Amino acid sequence: MSIDLNSDVGESFGAFRLGADAEVMRSITSANVACGFHAGDPGVMRQTGRWAGEAGVAVGAHPGFPDLVGFGRRELRASAREVEDMVLYQIGALAAIAASEGVTLAHVKAHGALYNMAARDRELADAIARAVRAFDRSLVLFGLPGSELISAGTAAGLRVASEGFADRAYAPDGSLAPRTAPGSVIHDAEEVVRRSLRMVTAGQVTATDGATLTFPVDTLCVHGDTAGAAELTRLLRAGLEQRGVTVRAFRPQADRA
Amino acid sequence: MSIDLNSDVGESFGAFRLGADAEVMRSITSANVACGFHAGDPGVMRQTGRWAGEAGVAVGAHPGFPDLVGFGRRELRASAREVEDMVLYQIGALAAIAASEGVTLAHVKAHGALYNMAARDRELADAIARAVRAFDRSLVLFGLPGSELISAGTAAGLRVASEGFADRAYAPDGSLAPRTAPGSVIHDAEEVVRRSLRMVTAGQVTATDGATLTFPVDTLCVHGDTAGAAELTRLLRAGLEQRGVTVRAFRPQADRA
Amino acid sequence: MSIDLNSDVGESFGAFRLGADAEVMRSITSANVACGFHAGDPGVMRQTGRWAGEAGVAVGAHPGFPDLVGFGRRELRASAREVEDMVLYQIGALAAIAASEGVTLAHVKAHGALYNMAARDRELADAIARAVRAFDRSLVLFGLPGSELISAGTAAGLRVASEGFADRAYAPDGSLAPRTAPGSVIHDAEEVVRRSLRMVTAGQVTATDGATLTFPVDTLCVHGDTAGAAELTRLLRAGLEQRGVTVRAFRPQADRA
Amino acid sequence: MSIDLNSDVGESFGAFRLGADAEVMRSITSANVACGFHAGDPGVMRQTGRWAGEAGVAVGAHPGFPDLVGFGRRELRASAREVEDMVLYQIGALAAIAASEGVTLAHVKAHGALYNMAARDRELADAIARAVRAFDRSLVLFGLPGSELISAGTAAGLRVASEGFADRAYAPDGSLAPRTAPGSVIHDAEEVVRRSLRMVTAGQVTATDGATLTFPVDTLCVHGDTAGAAELTRLLRAGLEQRGVTVRAFRPQADRA
């Protein structure tokens, strides 16, 4: 039994520092790197790519809406055409910088509102899948289990990864409870490990109404932008491994001399 | 005797339309495509790449400072590290979009203030050369004849192209007369053709003080953002060809079915 | 019988020129000036304010979403709090620049997607009304007749102005037919005058399905961003005046020495 | 003997948090609030204005270059006209938001590279002074002692305030040692207090080469964007007051019920 462990990183911007990327990288296997639209800048992207390369962590693009002040968390009614182009732009930008650090992209995970909209809206989901396929057919496309994004990726011939969230509460419909809701982010490490193990081994999680949700989980997301993120991630990986779960990326970075 | 004919294109942005790109493409051999920092957006980049591909025009990246309101024409004291990363980011973004239209990048020409600063500042010039080399060693780097950018490109092992400006006045030191100076942009087609022929065949041009400047010219730039640009470009190409000059790109787009 | 004639102006941005503002100003009585978020920049705002002052045209703020590439036409799910603050920010910025040209703001008209969302969403409408009232209770708030924005303005104690669109097609529900629909923008001057006269004198307009819509019209909007805009506006004003309609602003700029 | 104590605040942006504004406000008398160009957003501006109002701290505008990724610290060769307009835009935007929180602006302090360029460049200095005067002739203009900005403000009939930096090293020419130089930011509280007292009481400070610089100091700046900023500021104020220096703003916010 194995699982990929991913986190959103590279979300600093200029003088604005966010996250504990270097520390988080020690425990995850896939790094979703912001590409400059909702967070990140070319220098941050390089540094993050370098850290990932050094840690042997797989690097993926984490494209978002061009909404820096809203951190890409606000829905923007962009057309499918616009979404396809902005996603491709961001993938290409990151790929170029990562390549200069000897790192090849392994996956794509849409960010924030774009991720959530594409879970429900097939047109947007298809647009993202087209952008990914156009860039590199071997990239793994991350998405919410059962989402339109997973369907679109599959239809486009891409390898897809259904994503569970280790430290987020689930609404009864399988979507994430909004960040503004109390208890939507779980901070207790033991509970995070317990929920994660159940997701990985049984494909189940308890929703906010107490119901049991069942879905496949190929990769687990743990947040990386708060004070305790690095420690939580370390405990999560240790907890998974202690229970016999192998933590590994879909396409790990090759060893580098 | 042959020459490349280039123009800055893809400078529209969202609802803001600039230039007569589709028309200009009929006469040029190399298109310098804005990459979203000083002009251009992902959708404009795609459209421009498509037009270039259809016209068999070589596509190059035209990276600039992140200064949309200043159109990249204002000097920004970014560090060499920042310049390297922003140039690489822009090249990668354009390359991804162009590739999805079947187009491979052939060259890089820095835009506006970045181009001018890198002509004089070796550190910035080296930064640009590093970004180009990191992305693709076969890209041709455009620069002002005798500039630090040409030196840096050569030192980095890149193929370089010394650029003459068909419709711009030259200061006595070989730099371009500032756009704000009267007569800095030449609109008379006959004069443009005459000056261009002399640059291409004799490597000479008359500066604003009447002195003769001598420098090699591998590619000729003609502006594409005004009303008469397309017609001027057409006349320039015809004038060159009538005098036996072959107009061709360094690395033309392959014919596409 | 009188009517205000307004147009969206000041929508250029840096090197990107849009509209025929100086010409349009000769015929309108209220100028809605973009404030830098969806279009406009500080220099354009100053120039536009100066032209309006010279023409004796009332100046209003035209705040929009922070979406330059989308020209503020894409819905952005900003919170009411965010909308209130961004509207107030934009009003204040324009007011300062206008004041330095001797011009006092007379009205506020939200732009694009913000205008349309606030027509339906009372929370956003209230947010806009709060921003306007906080800045200056004597500002006139423009809105779609019968919209939540008009209700919110009235509830906030503001003077409101119901707006008709001289050259736009109406959907059966009284909203504007989307710009992407064929025939949504009416270019025929005679038809524009005829429809406008009927709106002003009878409060009626024919919708796209042939039905008659009835609503009050205090101000007529005519677009200013296309080639024929200035001439269309001139013809519209002349047509209205020939039929005895007085064209005047709610609060005209005072004569200036 | 009295002194104003100022700090740059409101430098958060969206999800990016910077500084310890609420704590710093307890010790300073003048708050320089970022206006959205180099840092700050409309919501942050409102919150910062509110905190300042509650703490009885005078609020000033802290306009900067439109360079968010560079935090306004990179020189941008904008024209005097552009600088005047962008400064006026930012002052107006902040004034509107502050007014809605019951707070009237008291001063203007340019930020980062704009501050430093205007210290040496009279054209830019005049542009800033014109913007300030156009908005409100009673605003106090902050600047480096003996700088062109102070001269321009005086020539424009503005009240000016010569600023000393409590925790920054000085180059022999009276400019600030660049942030990148080791020792350029002084963290030891005792040294900060000692240097500050000498600046306030004797108008003297020791430069990096050991020489004594002599200049008038009307206001002392202490940085507010690091972990220990609030405590350092508290100690500085206490140290000044213990030595009999009255710490007060030029134009304090009126008590509010």
Q: What is the CA radius of gyration of chain C?
A: 17
Q: How confident is the model at residue C224 (pLDDT cuts 50, 70, 90)?
A: confident
Q: Which chains touch A (3 or more CB pairs under 8 A)?
A: B, C, D
Q: What is the pLDDT of residue B255?
A: 43
Chain D residue nearest residue B73, CA to CA: D77
Q: What is the CA radius of gyration of chain A?
A: 17
What is the share, in percent, of chain B residues with pLDDT greater than 70? 98
Q: What is the pLDDT of residue B252?
A: 64
Q: Which chains touch B (3 or more CB pairs under 8 A)?
A: A, C, D
- List chain C domain ranges: 2-220+232-255
Q: Region A59-82: what's the mean pLDDT?
A: 98
Determine the Cα–Cα distance for residues C59 and C111; give it in Å rounded to an integer: 15
Distances (CA, A) of A112 to A39, A73, A119, A178, A208: 11, 5, 11, 11, 20
To 10 degrees, what angle do helices C122-135 and C112-120 make? 120
User: pLDDT, tens digit, for every residue of A106-131?
Assistant: 999 999 999 999 999 999 999 999 99
Determine the Cα–Cα distance for residues A111 and A70; give it in Å rounded to an integer: 12
**Minimal Cβ distance to C77: which of A66, A69, A74:** A74
Instruction: Report the gap between the CA of B135 and the closest CA in chain A (Å).
Output: 6
Distances (CA, A) of C160 to C95, C119, C201, C249, C257: 19, 13, 19, 13, 30
Q: Region A198-220: what's the mean pLDDT?
A: 96
Say yes or no for a CB contact (<8 Å) between D96 and C94.
no
Considering only CB atoms, which chain D residues are within 8 Å of B66? 67, 69
**Minimal Cβ distance to A97: which of B92, B94, B97:** B92
Residues of D with CB under 8 A from a CB of C: 36, 41-43, 45-46, 81-82, 85-86, 88-97, 99-100, 131, 134-135
User: pLDDT, tens digit, for every residue of D123-157?
Assistant: 999 999 999 999 999 999 999 999 999 999 999 99
Determine the Cα–Cα distance for residues A49 and A43; give it in Å rounded to an integer: 10
Q: What value of ipTM does the predicted structure carry?
A: 0.96
User: Which of B16, B41, B44 is the mutation pick for testing C, counting most C CBs within 10 A?
Assistant: B16
Q: What is the pLDDT of residue D255?
A: 43
What is the share, in percent, of chain D residues with pLDDT greater than 70? 98
Say yes or no for a CB contact (<8 Å) between A13 and D16.
yes
Instruction: Report the gap between the CA of B101 and the closest CA in chain C (Å).
Output: 22
**What phi-psi label fits residue A223: left (phi over 0), alpha (psi between -120 and 50 degrees) or beta?**
beta
Angle at B135 between CA B133 and CA B139, to 5 degrees: 60
Q: What is the pLDDT of residue B180?
A: 85
Long-range Cβ pairs for the range A17-21 (8 Å, 24+): A18/A225, A18/D15, A18/D16, A19/A224, A19/A225, A19/A229, A20/A224, A20/A227, A20/A229, A20/A230, A21/A48, A21/A51, A21/A224
Considering only CB atoms, which chain A residues are within 8 Å of B131? 100
pTM of the model: 0.97
Determine the Cα–Cα distance for residues B183 and B181; give it in Å rounded to an integer: 6
Q: How confident is the model at residue A253 (pLDDT cuts 50, 70, 90)?
A: low
Query: Domain B2-220+232-255 adopts which CATH fold?
Result: TIM Barrel (3.20.20)
User: pLDDT, tens digit, for every residue of C130-156?
Assistant: 999 999 999 999 999 999 999 999 999
Chain B residue nearest residue C18, CA to CA: B16
**Minimal Cβ distance to C69: which of B14, B71, B73:** B14
Say yes or no for a CB contact (<8 Å) between B96 and A81.
no
Instruction: Name the strand (E) or helix (H) holding A62.
Output: strand A58-62
Q: What is the pLDDT of residue B227?
A: 73
Q: How confident is the model at residue D254 (pLDDT cuts 50, 70, 90)?
A: low
Say yes or no for a CB contact (<8 Å) between A76 and C67.
yes
Q: Which chains touch C (3 or more CB pairs under 8 A)?
A: A, B, D
Which parts of D30-75 fold into alpha helices (H)?
42-55
Say yes or no for a CB contact (<8 Å) between B68 and C71.
no
User: pLDDT, tens digit, for every residue of C196-209?
Assistant: 999 999 999 999 99
pLDDT, tens digit only, all 257 positions of chain B: 999 999 999 999 999 999 999 999 999 999 999 999 999 999 999 999 999 999 999 999 999 999 999 999 999 999 999 999 999 999 999 999 999 999 999 999 999 999 999 999 999 999 999 999 999 999 999 999 999 999 999 999 999 999 999 999 999 999 999 888 999 999 999 999 999 999 999 999 999 999 999 999 999 999 877 778 999 999 999 999 999 999 999 976 654 43
Q: By the 8 A CB rule, do D128 and D82 touch?
A: no
Reduced to 3 states (helix: H, G, I; strand: E, B; else coil), residue A177 is coil
Other C-beta atoms closer than 10 Å to the C-beta of D251 total 19
Say yes or no for a CB contact (<8 Å) between D13 and A69.
yes
Longest Cα separation, chain A: 51
User: Which of B37, B77, B120, B121 is the mutation pick for testing D, counting most D CBs within 10 A?
Assistant: B77
Which tokens is C32 given?
A: 């809605």
Residue C255 pLDDT exceeds 50: no
The alpha carbon torsion through D235, D105, A69, D185 (nearest 10 deg) reads -30
Say yes or no for a CB contact (<8 Å) between A69 and C66.
yes
